[in-house]
Structure 1
Amino acid sequence: MAAAVAHTTVAPVIELSDVSVEFPGVKALDGVDFRLLPGEIHALMGENGAGKSTLIKALTGIHDIAAGTITVDGADRRFTTPRQAQDAGISTVYQEVNLCTNLTVAENILLGREPRRLGRIDFRAMNRRAQELLGELDVRIDPASTLSAHPIAVQQLVAIARATAVSARVLILDEPTSSLDADEVGELFRVMRHLRDGGVAILFVSHFLDQIYEISDRMTVLRNGRLVGEYRTADLDKVRLIAAMLGHELDVLEELEGAVAAGDTVDPDHTVVSARELGRAPAIHPTDLDVHRGEVIGLAGLLGSGRTELARLLFGADHASSGRMFVNGQPVSIRSPRAAIARGLAFSSEDRKAEGIIGELSVRDNMILALQARRGFARPLRKQAKDDLVARYMEALDIRPRDPAALVKNLSGGNQQKVLLARWLITAPQLFILDEPTRGIDVGAKAQIQKLVTELSADGMAVVFISAELEEVVRISDRILVLRDGHCVDQIGADCSVQTLTELIAGCGAP
């Protein structure tokens, strides 16, 4: 797709011209142009590894630029620290809220800028100033309350209030909606529109396309570190946007649809895992589940419905208070993840940062961790065997960059997720439990992971698949367990519609 430009006569508050950022062996940005206008919400789009985070970090002084210029209000600027960018009116709110939950709301908003009287912090003045800043956003909470007492959605708004406390003229929101429900997203969007109408320029990063089209005025698309184009949101439909983001990788989506349509690989005579009356009150009530060889079982329900709780019971990450489990027809006692791994079970957690990747270790060490744990650390893998396994799965899962020695924390979110999948695939599991494997990643990596799931089931692996995106659950599942308030309320076939699934989740029928 040829680059397109959304023409405007308004002078940009920030402009990047021919900017490049380089890391050893990698050109993360390659001659990228970017404009951010005052009083707009501008979406930055691209698959994981496209350069979105690098552009933000170059703009805010975290990464040095190798070439090109950055101008703020027409003047050349090159920030070497985030503080310099903040002093220039550029504030960032990241996906993981970077606040101190043990402090009060007011202390978080004015941290480092507390009003003082006679050399001491004036708490009354601080609470009053925080209340003013929250009031400007129409956020009604007690500034003296502890931040941890509030849900993540409110903490996001507190982070925005902190950003605007320094008279921010540019606000960067990096995946702010990934942990919010629909009502919370609506409240965040209300605040964003309020700030935009007051002249603040907002750079918005999200992998939810519906949200992009609801809130953004313009968008810039990156692919493989290069600029694809700049567009008015109203001028670019979703099909063309996906094509711009993925290029040739759009074929992955078409292959996925074909694979799903053709796939009928379930072996009903071979039950890999059975659960009878498995539960852990009050989170998940006694539930029956059979997963057959070559079958993808979807778990669908709202946050708190019991999806993750059931998955953790199957893997022994939590102890069941009731029920029995069988693997290949044999009764088993799975009281720990190690026991589950020994039985051929694998589990990829929804929280890849806290329960998945070990950021300070290399890609290689992260990938072989589960296999080494199963063998025991007294029996280390030979270096050649380790290198062969890692090279094989880096190629098979298209992990980028193709550098096993790279620290996993430096990879994009989608590639970190692929490293986790590779970790478990190396153990050759019978049952693979995937909890939100596509959350927070772009549509390209998402399509690749969905395609991988269908290929694994076609090869005979049993899969339990959890996703908050119902279209995704319907697309790749052979059967779906519908959960509500800790109860399994129904089991439905793969031919159900998203509408039917939504109605069951919403409560049409009592558990």
Structure 2
Amino acid sequence: MEIEMKEIVKSFGSNKVLLGVDLNIKSGEVHALMGENGAGKSTLMNILTGLHEYDSGKIIINGQERTFDNPKEAEENGISFIHQEMITWPDLTVLENLFMGRELKTGWGWIKTKEMRNEAYKLFEDLGVDIDLDREMRTLSVGQQQLVEIAKSLMSNAEVIIMDEPSAALTDREIKVLFDTIEKLTAKNVAIIYISHRMEEIFAISDRITVMRDGVSVDTKPTAETDNDEVVRKMVGRDLDDYYPDIETKNGDVLLEVLNLSDGKDFENISFNVRQGEILGVSGLMGAGRTEIMRAVFGIDKPVSGKVKLDGKEITIKSPADAIEKGIGFLTENRKEEGLILEDSLRENISLPSISEFSRSGWINTKEEKEFADLLIKRLTVKTVSGEVPVKTLSGGNQQKVVLAKWIGAGSRVLILDEPTRGVDVGAKREIYMLMKELTERGVGIIMVSSDLPEIIGISDRVIVVHEGHIAGELDKAELSEEKIMTLATGGAK
């Protein structure tokens, strides 16, 4: 399938999102679509698949101008979109999610469960995916859900597959499975539109790159004819300084200490500490228990044993409200379900943990609340027309900034960041790193969980590595290397 999008223009009210974008896709290629959060990449793809109407321009498919009325029609015509924020039915099984809306039925309308199961088994086997078809989707990790979505797309016999940040939550092994799958698909003339902020992936997997900036397509080049610096420069419109900021570590006293924490299921005898002004990196393979440990520390889940100390004194955290009251903030991995109230405004989301500061006798001083939120929106350079719009209207990276603004505004002394730059563009990543630096200079202790090894090495003062629910080892700044971290993460000795 050959696709050409010409001079595509789109506005949402007064907000001009696309100002004239050109994109052409060839059969059998991996075409990377690059740009900062808010550049218009997802909007362009939503227009292609019929979710949004465009104001002007042309879409030409196989030499004929055409549009789709909705994503289902696009999928029926060979174009499938795997969204960054996955659309799943959490209470249904993996098998039910795979065949939702396309169940195999007998002439009498009975569901052919056995045939569906056999087809799903074969597909998972081809992909190298080991997931129980009878598990509810809500019980899967984000990475496992992503693999189910990819499998579902392949079942529709798509000729063009749009992948929006497909590897953001995948382990290295799962990324290899993804890349192997993409290679098999392109060999069958399937085109892949690959949206990612991971430069190493773009240069490993793509044939051509189109860069977008501020609603305009800046350039399209064969991947072999460009490099990392040129792509970044075209994305942000300037040269970036050193990617990771120099952080002069002045670690103070131990701020938070976790002793022999166990939940009886996902982790056991976990002990670590974070000091004032320190960034403690937490690494390990997906499913090792990293997130579960942090959820227990923050009071979301209840451990069966262990202690948590703050400033040397044992504290009791039975709920997130207890943690917030004691100055602990938690930026969760799943921002849409756990970090934000999507229907509420930026102002309401940002002020939520600090709402008591603006309350007088049960009444909220909305003027003070607005000034507080606007200050943080400006400080974190959140791209929005107003602090009063619903947070669901923002791009993924800007939503992440809103979650971060919420905890910075709450005055957190200990900040737990779980995959803080997942799905965030290079410019916004740099801004988040600079904010982390500023926070440590103010004495905040940061615990950063990340699957991005260069990020772990580049930003951490110290790293603990989790393997199968246990801390496999600890590495200081001078010892950090990808090889040493992966050795510990896979059960090897330090």
Give the alignment's TM-score, normalised by structure 1: 0.87
* Counterpart residue number, 1:184: 174
Cα distance, 1:34–1:495 mapped onto 2, change above 3 Å:
same
- Whole-angstrom distance in 2 between the partners of 1:460 and 1:97: 37
Aligned partner letter, 2:488? L
Q: Do residues 382 (structure 1) and 365 (structure 2) align?
A: yes
* Counterpart residue number, 1:203: 193
Q: Do residues 495 (structure 1) and 478 (structure 2) align?
A: yes
Equivalent residue in structure 1 for 2:36, among 47, 52, 58: 47
Q: Mean alpha-carbon deviation: is it higher for 140-149 or for 102-111? A: 140-149
Which residues of 2 match residues 127-166 of structure 1 at below 5 A? 127=116, 130=119, 134=123, 138=126, 145-146=133-134, 148=136, 151-152=144-145, 154-164=147-157
Aligned partner letter, 2:190? V
* Counterpart residue number, 1:214: 204
Q: Mean alpha-carbon deviation: is it higher for 115-124 or for 362-371? A: 115-124
Which ranges of structure 1 fall in alignment gaps of 5 or more residues? 1-11
Q: Do residues 456 (structure 1) and 445 (structure 2) align?
A: no
Which residues of 2 match residues 337-376 of structure 1 at below 5 A? 337-372=320-355
Q: Do residues 230 (structure 1) and 223 (structure 2) align?
A: no
- Whole-angstrom distance in 2 between the partners of 1:502 and 1:126: 40
* Counterpart residue number, 2:250: 265
Which residues of 2 match residues 406-445 of structure 1 at below 5 A? 406-445=389-428
The CA RMSD over aligned residues, in Å, is 3.0
Indicate conservation of the 8 Å contact 2:127/2:177, yes or no: no
- Whole-angstrom distance in 1 between the partners of 2:478 and 2:130: 49
* Counterpart residue number, 1:466: 449
Deviation of residue 153 (structure 1)? 5.7
Q: Which has the larger radius of gyration?
A: 1
* Counterpart residue number, 2:5: 16
Indicate conservation of the 8 Å contact 1:93/1:163, yes or no: no
Cα distance, 1:388–1:108 mapped onto 2, change above 3 Å:
closer
Cα distance, 1:76–1:125 mapped onto 2, change above 3 Å:
farther
Aligned partner letter, 1:472? E
Q: Mean alpha-carbon deviation: is it higher for 93-102 or for 31-40? A: 93-102
Indicate conservation of the 8 Å contact 1:100/1:147, yes or no: no
Q: Mean alpha-carbon deviation: is it higher for 25-34 or for 277-286? A: 277-286
- Whole-angstrom distance in 2 between the partners of 1:400 and 1:131: 41
Deviation of residue 383 (structure 1)? 1.1
Q: Do residues 504 (structure 1) and 488 (structure 2) align?
A: yes
* Counterpart residue number, 1:65: 54
SS at match of 2:405: helix
Deviation of residue 497 (structure 1)? 2.8
- Whole-angstrom distance in 2 between the partners of 1:231 and 1:496: 39
Deviation of residue 125 (structure 1)? 9.6
* Counterpart residue number, 1:3: none
Give the alignment's TM-score, normalised by structure 2: 0.89
Equivalent residue in structure 1 for 2:318, among 302, 326, 335: 335
- Whole-angstrom distance in 2 between the partners of 1:113 and 1:278: 45
Equivalent residue in structure 2 for 1:244, among 234, 237, 241: 234
- Whole-angstrom distance in 2 between the partners of 1:125 and 1:178: 33
Equivalent residue in structure 2 for 1:399, among 372, 379, 382: 382
1:455-476 CA-to-partner distances (Å, cap 9, x unmatched) read 1101221111111112212222
- Whole-angstrom distance in 1 between the partners of 2:151 and 2:64: 31
Which ranges of structure 2 fall in alignment gaps of 5 or more residues? none
Cα distance, 1:198–1:243 mapped onto 2, change above 3 Å:
same
Aligned partner letter, 2:145? I
1:407-445 CA-to-partner distances (Å, cap 9, x unmatched) read 111111110011001111111111111111111222222
- Whole-angstrom distance in 2 between the partners of 1:430 and 1:122: 55
Deviation of residue 199 (structure 1)? 1.9
Deviation of residue 33 (structure 1)? 0.6
Aligned length: 488
* Counterpart residue number, 1:4: none
Deviation of residue 205 (structure 1)? 1.6
- Whole-angstrom distance in 1 between the partners of 2:401 and 2:379: 10
Indicate conservation of the 8 Å contact 1:45/1:206, yes or no: yes
Cα distance, 1:288–1:67 mapped onto 2, change above 3 Å:
same
